[in-house]
Amino acid sequence: MIRKRTALVAAALLASFALPLAADTSANSNQSNEVIAALVRRPALLVQVLKLNSSQADTLKTLITTLQTTVQTQQKANATLDQQIKNALASPAPDNCALGKLVITRHQNDLAIVAAFAKFDKDFSAILTPDQLARWQRLKRGLGHTGRAAEEED
């Protein structure tokens, strides 16, 4: 019983230290990611609004595929980690070190998702003309994109 309580306290302490560090970045990044995710769900609309040529449209499709693959892979890994964390916390004598490693790995996966969105934004922005880039920036700002994920990558 004491070991379980110690493990729960250790996990709570780890989370209390890790969450504030990740919260600011995570909250802003999640909002930025949601905006970009909403925009890439409709590539035809982006092609039309930004007036992309066929080469740019093809590159957009490739960038979207890469983004989706990366995000889906990390989300699947996180689902597995979430279950492992839940199981570890439910055990009578959780291994604090193993539990900490699971939490850290999950956080690293979250950071990989943030990085994937920032890379998409950077790579997509790189293929745009100055006029298209200005429209892309206005479109993101109009939907509440904070721009922090891209700034953190630079």
pLDDT digits (tens, 9 = 90+) for 11-37: 443 444 443 434 444 555 566 788 888
Model confidence at 70, pLDDT cuts 50, 70, 90, reads very high
Query: What's the whole-model pTM score?
Result: 0.74
In whole angstroms, give the CA distance from residue 97 to residue 115: 27
Burial class (CB in 10 A: 0-12, 13-18, 19+), 131: exposed
- Of the pLDDT bands very low, low, confident and very high (cuts 50, 70, 90), residue 1 is low
Residue pLDDT, tens place only, 88-113: 999 998 899 999 999 999 999 999 99
- Count how many Cα atoms sit within 13 Å of the Cα of residue 93 in the half-sphere of its side chain: 1
- Number of H helices and E strands in the chain, helices first, is 6, 0
Instruction: Read off the pLDDT of each residue in 70-91 and give the average, rounded to a whole number.
Output: 94
Number of domains in the chain: 1
The single-letter code of the amino acid at 111 is L
Domain extent for 65: 2-153
